[in-house]
Structure 1
């Protein structure tokens, strides 16, 4: 395993009592926008678009169940994936998963270095990864686009929040790996 950022256990403790519904609404709004803007993802996913994917940030007290269904993509926030029927589970530290979804880190490299865990239907996971890669989806930028002219400000704010988390909320002083800075168009 490589030395990648893991949120301090205190963050997990603080987040435990928070309600999941607002988180679910926010993530659902972002994903609905992503799927609406990148309809080619459904072609790449094929039959895998109807499968349920468990996404589990291992350093936070919740997980997500994603169903990309072209008729209506869904995401559900849950306390744990235990007891939920998912075709595949993708698990790893939150900031690592974020870097992967933003295209900063290679999912294959993370899998082979054991920085993330992938279980279940590997074909479905590869299809999802290929669909995201082919469309060059950056969830933060996509979410910011919903704010129209203020999208640059929203992206900047999200980047500042991420830097804050990497600087002050990561366990261990030497585990504050900061992803490469991206230029915004």
Structure 2
């Protein structure tokens, strides 16, 4: 049983939900199970999340907020190579630490475009466009999709075990070498 401090049940639920996702996968995540793990009544989580979908929405929003922070940290580099390396490497670290959350973040369609998850995802993708020097509105250029596909693809391969962990650095370096001339182009 995981303890929590009175008044911080929402945060404790989110933390425990990440642990359960990592350990048991999405099918093992239930509101009752979280309540039991935290030693609260089975109805207590509903004070913060109306249902499991609302909990997942909050998890996705938190994940995108973390990825946006990674973009922010990588954006401080003036050199485009250093920015790209920092961004892709940071994304890989996040993916490694949050392997069970990644598919939910990148494959689940939010029901409400005003949901926290949708808003956080939008912020993440807007910031990614800015990282590439695209500050326009409207449909993103193909380069944005190329960076997303490359980064998400490497992350997917790494978290699924199809890309051995000792090769991730080599693949990231190669992705930077391939993408850099296009980005700087």
Tell me, yes or no, whether TM beats 0.5.
no
Q: Which has the higher helix share?
A: 2
Query: Who wins on radius of gyration, i.e. which is larger?
Result: 2
Q: Which has the higher strand share?
A: 1
Q: TM-score, normalised by structure 1?
A: 0.29
The structure showing larger relative contact order (alpha-carbon pairs under 8 Å, at least 6 residues apart) is 1
